[in-house]
Amino acid sequence: MIKKTLLILFSFFFIYLNTVKSAETDIYQKIDLFGEVLEKINKEYVDEINQSESMDSAINGLLQSLDPYSAYMSPEIFNEMQTETSGEFGGLGIEVGMESGVVKVISPIDDTPASRAGIKAGDYIVKINNIQVQGKSLSEAVDLMRGPVGSGIELTIRRRGEKKALTFKIIREVIQIQSVKSELLEEDIGYIRLTSFNENSGKQVEKNIKDLEKKNNIKSYILDLRNNPGGLLSQAIKISDFFLNNGEIVSTKSRKASENRKWFASEGDLTKGKTLIVLINYGSASASEIVAGALKDHKRAILLGENSYGKGSVQSIIPLKNDGAIRLTVAKYYLPSGKSISEVGVSPDIEIGEESDDFRIKTETDNQLNYAIKLLNG
């Protein structure tokens, strides 16, 4: 009996070793094939190629085949990302990602050149200064959009519902983001506009809530997360906690079960349970979706607007030996209900689209905010 058991175990072990060996052999064969293809291209292609750039493109292709957010950063691009360039380079004020080889606008940021020009979440950038974007990496496309403050750039856009491409001429500026703004609406509605989740957002939201509570007879709140592309997970958790007394806020699941995590709200709602409406749209992504999703799942808020973007993944920057780095998706977010945000987003309780072509957040054309105010006023 013991001999038979040992024989079975040995057979399984032998099969396992053969499987591992076969997988390793296949990988080495693929590496050899890649080298052969590169050699053929170098010798036979109609034009001379830069082998270093070709290798970078191959690495990028591998990463972008995983998801729209993983990417390779060359040493130059990684260094630029790490270096403070205050006043040296100008930007447009948009958060972008890659989809099907084309740069996609996740969200324009409030009061920036892109926002003022009329760029919208979900727009596809097909040309930058008449240079085709298709085939370029996200890092390369972002690099093309950078330039000196005061210099001009032309973006060619494809937009859902528009038959023809749209062209936007924009002047680059130094992008300074004020992530939190608040004011009193209709004498008793506390309005908080959150445009990003940076390291100070939690403290600023807390201060704004406390100031509104002290100075005014606040009966309800509007938390505006439209065109907020996200940011730090820690700040999303902190801001969600301001409106909750208990319960799960968000969880992350990675490849290794030991690295899975859950975060919970602590006791104490800064707004004392007052009626809360959260405004979202297609430009609400990542950390915005965590806050909106948690408040919806706990029935703490009414969500109003449009379906959110659907970026429910966590990226890490991993340095490489060549002084470059890769941005790699290492985990996914899950709402308290257990639902994943990825590719699905968070749906509003009350769906209200933008009614005007001239729609601008927090202006007379903002029908979503106007509807929220009417709802709170009964």
Q: State yes or no: is 311 an active-site residue.
A: yes
CA 198 – CA 236 distance, rounded (Å): 9
Given the residues 297, 308, 313, 366, select the one marked as catalytic: 297
Q: Are 245 and 265 in contact (CB under 8 A)?
A: yes
**For the chain, first and last CA: distance in Å?**
79
Q: Which of 81-85's residues contact partners 24+ apart within 8 Å by CB, and which partners?
A: none
Residue 166 host element (H or E) = strand 166-171
CA 278 to CA 224: how far, in whole Å? 6
Tell me which long-range contacts 174-183 makes (C-beta under 8 A, separation of at least 24): 174/86, 174/87, 174/90, 174/91, 174/149, 175/90, 175/91, 175/92, 175/93, 175/109, 175/112, 177/109, 177/110, 177/112, 179/204, 180/204, 180/205, 180/208, 182/208, 182/209, 182/211, 182/212
Tell me, yes or no, if 323 is annotated catalytic.
no
d(CA 77, CA 142): 10
Given this model, what pLDDT does residue 130 score? 92
Domains delineated in the chain: 71-171 (2.30.42.10), 180-315+329-377 (3.90.226.10)
Question: Sign of the C-alpha dihedral, residues 194, 196, 197, 200?
Answer: negative
Q: Is the torsion defined by CA of 33, 36, 41, 42 positive or negative?
A: positive
Give the separation between CA 172 and CA 147, rounded to whole angstroms: 7
Query: Of 220, 286, 288, 313, which is the active-site residue?
Result: 286
Of the candidates 154, 85, 161, which has an alpha carbon nearest to the alpha carbon of residue 125?
A: 154
Question: Is residue 136 annotated as part of the catalytic site, yes or no?
Answer: no
In sequence order, the β-bridge partners of residue 105 are 96
Smallest Cα–Cα separation from 154: which of 136, 138, 134, 168? 168
As given in the structure block, the two tokens for residue 85 are 């360039």
Structural tokens at position 178: 């004020």
Tell me which of 136, 311, 313, 366 is the catalytic residue. 311
Query: What's the pTM value of the predicted model, to 2 decimals?
Result: 0.80
271: enclosing H helix or E strand? none
Per-residue pLDDT tens, the chain, 378 aa: give them.
554 544 454 455 455 455 545 666 777 787 788 888 888 888 888 888 888 888 888 888 888 888 888 888 888 888 876 653 333 456 898 888 888 778 999 989 888 899 999 999 999 999 999 999 887 878 788 888 888 889 999 999 999 889 999 999 999 998 877 789 999 999 899 999 999 998 889 999 999 999 999 877 899 999 999 999 998 899 999 999 999 999 999 999 999 889 899 999 999 999 999 999 999 999 999 999 999 999 999 999 999 999 999 999 988 889 999 999 999 999 999 999 999 999 899 999 999 998 887 888 988 999 999 999 999 998
Identity at 166, one-letter amino acid code = L
C-beta of residue 185 within 8 angstroms of C-beta of residue 128: no
